[in-house]
Amino acid sequence: MRFRNCIIDPQVERAWLTAESLLSSNSMMINELRLKKDWRYNSLNVVDELLKAREPVNIYVYKYKNPFTRAIGHFDGKAIYISTKVISNFNFKTVTGLFLHEYAHYCGFGHGNNFKTAEKCLYSVPYYLSENCDKWI
């Protein structure tokens, strides 16, 4: 297991279980990532790092407080946090992508600052996973 769900919500459970299945060794996502060679930022061996055995990362909810940020979740170095606004406006693809994005951070991948750009969506592991998860589901 890659995630430990600490949120009681059946929709969230479905999303983390889907993210979990995408992080298996023969998933469509992993097979595509094996072929991608143009990573930027801190591009470690992507597939090896995503599949490496690790302690499951906890998933918690947090109260969305800052109206000036568009962040829907974050990884604090220990756990993944998902905003209450995401749960109240649940979108399966968005939440699954969020779990993949934050799990990539847990595995050591970054994307520079927190401003999402087209370049980051193509070449950073976290944004690539979150932006493309719908084609692997």
- Return the HEC string of the chain: CCEEECCCCHHHHHHHHHHHHHCCCCCHHHHHHHHCCCCCCCCCCHHHHHHCCCCCEEEEEECCCCCCCCCCEEECCCEEEEEHHHHHCCCHHHHHHHHHHHHHHHCCCCCCCCCCCHHHHHHCHHHHHHHHHHHHC
Collapsed DSSP state (helix, strand, coil) of residue 128: helix
pTM summary value:
0.93
Which tokens hold the place of 97?
């992508």
Residue 83 β-bridge partners: 62
Q: Which fold has domain 3-136?
A: Collagenase (Catalytic Domain) (3.40.390)
pLDDT in tens, the chain (137 residues): 999 999 988 889 999 999 999 999 999 999 999 999 999 887 679 999 999 999 999 999 988 666 656 778 899 999 999 988 888 888 899 999 999 999 999 999 999 888 899 999 999 999 999 999 999 99
For residue 66, the model assigns a pLDDT of: 65
Tell me how far apart the terminal alpha carbons of the chain are, to the nearest angstrom. Answer: 18
Alpha-carbon distance 106 to 83, whole Å?
18
